[in-house]
Amino acid sequence: MTKDELIKSLPGDLQPWAAIWIPAMLRWSESELAEFLMNSAGLPWLTAYTEMVKIMTNDELVAEIKMRKAELARLNNDNAAFVRAQRTLFFSVLAKLILGLGQ
């Protein structure tokens, strides 16, 4: 399987990340890559990520930072919408409770 085939085989939301991470990981020697893969499951996420960042080029780091900022903005917007929905639900229930007490 080629690098491009591997990237395309991943779920759509992982493909942009894999397009940056896989070329970086392929710069490791075979033994370095094997060691990383064997240890990454047991490593804390930040430790494994730090090891990958060390081998990234500046362009890859910039691209990843841009994707990370976009993802954080999306999560923030989703959270804001969720909070608005919760607030609407809360005040709707409160209004029904108040109206019910008045009857």
Confidence of residue 66 (pLDDT cuts 50, 70, 90): very high
Average pLDDT over residues 51-57: 91
- pLDDT category, 42, cuts 50, 70, 90? confident
- What's the rounded mean pLDDT across residues 18-45? 89
Position 91 scores a pLDDT of 85
> What value, to the nearest 5°, has the Cα angle with vertex 54 and ends 49 and 59?
100
Residue 49 has what pLDDT?
87
Determine the number of helices (DSSP H) and then strands (DSSP E) in the chain.
Answer: 5, 0
